[in-house]
Structure 1
């Protein structure tokens, strides 16, 4: 084992010890025989409790090992002379605590370029290799039935399969050659826009990061792959119910900043000034929306780097998506939920109806009225 690798390994051990001081350091870290990732893991990684692992890395040891095992084949193919568990541990500690590469470099005698290289590699793998496995549109009959049934229990609205929302992810610094007004979010800081759809378990089944912080929710949706798939009929949801003579397919719900469409229902009004039936529908819809608001709050609460994203703008989307993949892993494993990150209440005018959406709008409007009247009649019995 060359001396540069030994020095790198020693520095990473000091990094781990600082973040989780109760962990035992690897006794033979400087031994030339300690070359395997598995032997490193057995003596270091099993020495801490799950609570300590969550404090250091945002997730428990079993979930950590799942991430390592799934990324190990890809990390092994890289030219990085570093065990997979240490590469993943370093990146998770950075995502959890929001530490910058320069901060880590100054604290642990590591070169900033090395930290950035490892971060970029691991987040890219999470955002590409693990995304298809852990972020999936619910198209199977079993999952679709489970999701719509759970939302109906929560809202009394049938065939709801998700809730959509957007959140600006604050950028620590915007490159000087970028237009600040384009990236200025509705809260006044530079950001990139995150769009997610969540199910009743606060698990994301679609994630999109395509727009700067200054883009509105409707425009970001229309530029997303999800929108293209739903408008083109690429996503087929077979579960169809009849409500007052209308065929209602599974739909998602959003707030008044989103367009009303056949597959996306929004409130009648933003201030509950509609008819009694409309107000009941709006209240039910907003109950469904709480899952996605809480999911975003958990995402930013667990991965604090998203509160002030300190990576290069080119790597911002993959870092955000990687955190969404890790969020789903934690939700699937039923990890304890951290304190929610709170954002100010948003406001804004409803989006205009574009020509290409008129037929989808009229279908959505008819469905919304039918669901509102049906709900009001059931509640009035």
Structure 2
């Protein structure tokens, strides 16, 4: 029994005996003599009935007060217990942060499995895009495709949580250190998970979502769409390069010089070919930012496939006696080839037919410029890549795969990332390219004259 209650009860007994010395409530248990006001008085037994029927008000008053005190005493342990719990030192700050963080596994679980389904689809997907750069259905598609590949790695985090964490980094450009603080994880673990997920996207999912349009159905769809845009037949894609800025580079002057791009910052070079839907059907990241677009193209697998005849285009047009197979278009930084047509003049100094052709060709090329703008606008990490140089290429390719997923799913397009206009001299012609150049030059002239005649007669 509580010590303070015993003390109150003892004082109350003294008060009772002073008011009514004829009875003693503790006689049953004490069987001894109680001293009141300095006199010895013999104790007698008092039943509960005698207490209630006593002529004195003191027993009844005592009984009432004792009952109240007994009730208070019986409820005191629970209150003291809660007080003890309140006074218990809180858990460590790190565990507290994990429990309270909006980015904890439990919070993610609540958002993805409970709260997410209580929202209307547009609101749900808008919230998901703000966090991870894509809608919830597209996110689940990515997780479903990566889960069988991630599970064997014995990752210490749930697969969907790890993918969400990497997507948030790609979408917002967070560094590993920033995410480590936000997710209450070690920076090395953030980097490890980022490298694993981006590697799987860039290698295992690449063949599924980045494909050359060789099938007849897709080729016809692509060339017809480009013809509606440009009035040029059999155009199947547009090529361009873009420097991906590196957040920092090793302090090596020789290395820094090769990675410094035409805009003055260290970078690696991205080369993409896009179709009319701004979907990439070829991606290459093999060169430092200081490399010319033409040289990067010549070093790519796509160039080797074109020049070796590995890509078989079944659709062929005849224009003024020339067989026009599907071709891609690029600006004057690329070599003129039979499979890659470039403008006659970068400054509009050609004939009317040539200038008209150049305008239409650049209209077709605009899709790849917009595609790169969408890529960098949607995955902001590509605006200032805070990844180690060894893992930069796979991170860039992974973002291209995710870009295609978003375009295929018709995700809302973000604000375009705008790059400065390109400038530079046309590339020199290699001896091995002369036959491709002459055939391409004749083909380009035939297309320009045919285009001018068709549009002039309307």
> What secondary structure is seen at the aligned counterpart in 2 of 1:162?
strand
What is aligned with 2:103? Answer: 16
Deviation at 1:13, TM superposition (A): 8.3
> What secondary structure is seen at the aligned counterpart in 2 of 1:179?
helix
- For residues 207 and 221 of structure 2, the distance between their equivalents in structure 1, rounded to whole angstroms, comes to 20
Cα-Cα RMSD: 2.0
Choose between structure 1 and 2: higher helix proportion: 2
> What secondary structure is seen at the aligned counterpart in 1 of 2:103?
helix
Deviation at 1:45, TM superposition (A): 5.3
Which deviates the most, 357-366 or 46-55? 46-55
**Structure 2, gaps ≥5 residues long:** 1-93
What is aligned with 1:247? Answer: 323
Alignment of 1:40-55 (within 5 A): 41-43=112-114, 46=117, 49-55=124-130
User: Residue 198 and residue 25 in structure 1: after superposition, are their counterparts in 2 closer, same or farther (change >3 A)?
Assistant: closer
Alignment of 1:99-178 (within 5 A): 99-177=174-252
- Alignment counterpart, residue 204 of structure 1, candidates 256, 264, 280: 280
* 2:362 corresponds to 1:362: no
> What secondary structure is seen at the aligned counterpart in 2 of 1:146?
helix
- For residues 342 and 196 of structure 2, the distance between their equivalents in structure 1, rounded to whole angstroms, comes to 39
Deviation at 1:12, TM superposition (A): 9.5
- For residues 339 and 405 of structure 2, the distance between their equivalents in structure 1, rounded to whole angstroms, comes to 27
- Alignment counterpart, residue 149 of structure 2, candidates 52, 68, 74: 74
Q: String of CA shifts for 1:121-151, please: whole Å, max 9, x gaps.
A: 0000000010000000000000000000000
User: Residue 196 and residue 69 in structure 1: after superposition, are their counterparts in 2 closer, same or farther (change >3 A)?
Assistant: same
* 2:425 corresponds to 1:349: yes
TM-score, normalisation: structure 1: 0.91
Alignment of 1:290-369 (within 5 A): 290-369=366-445
CA contact (8 A) 1:24 1:47 kept: no
User: Residue 24 and residue 157 in structure 1: after superposition, are their counterparts in 2 closer, same or farther (change >3 A)?
Assistant: same
Q: String of CA shifts for 1:195-221, please: whole Å, max 9, x gaps.
A: 000000000000000000000000000
CA contact (8 A) 2:98 2:104 kept: no
What is aligned with 2:90? Answer: none
Q: String of CA shifts for 1:241-269, please: whole Å, max 9, x gaps.
A: 10000000000000000000010000000
User: Which consecutive segments of 4 or more residues in structure 1 shift more than 6 A?
Assistant: none
- For residues 50 and 239 of structure 1, the distance between their equivalents in structure 2, rounded to whole angstroms, comes to 40
> What secondary structure is seen at the aligned counterpart in 2 of 1:189?
coil
* 2:345 corresponds to 1:274: no
Deviation at 1:14, TM superposition (A): 2.8
User: Residue 13 and residue 53 in structure 1: after superposition, are their counterparts in 2 closer, same or farther (change >3 A)?
Assistant: farther
- Tell which has more relative contact order, 1 or 2 (C-alpha 8 A, sep 6+): 1
> What secondary structure is seen at the aligned counterpart in 2 of 1:16?
coil
Deviation at 1:25, TM superposition (A): 5.5
- For residues 410 and 386 of structure 2, the distance between their equivalents in structure 1, rounded to whole angstroms, comes to 28
Larger radius of gyration: 2
Deviation at 1:176, TM superposition (A): 2.0
> What secondary structure is seen at the aligned counterpart in 1 of 2:227?
helix
> What secondary structure is seen at the aligned counterpart in 2 of 1:341?
coil
> What secondary structure is seen at the aligned counterpart in 1 of 2:127?
helix
**Structure 1, gaps ≥5 residues long:** 1-6, 28-39
What is aligned with 1:33? Answer: none
User: Residue 143 and residue 12 in structure 1: after superposition, are their counterparts in 2 closer, same or farther (change >3 A)?
Assistant: farther
CA contact (8 A) 1:137 1:205 kept: yes
Deviation at 1:15, TM superposition (A): 5.2
What is aligned with 1:262? Answer: 338
CA contact (8 A) 1:13 1:25 kept: no
* 2:171 corresponds to 1:84: no
User: Residue 210 and residue 118 in structure 1: after superposition, are their counterparts in 2 closer, same or farther (change >3 A)?
Assistant: same
* 2:315 corresponds to 1:226: no
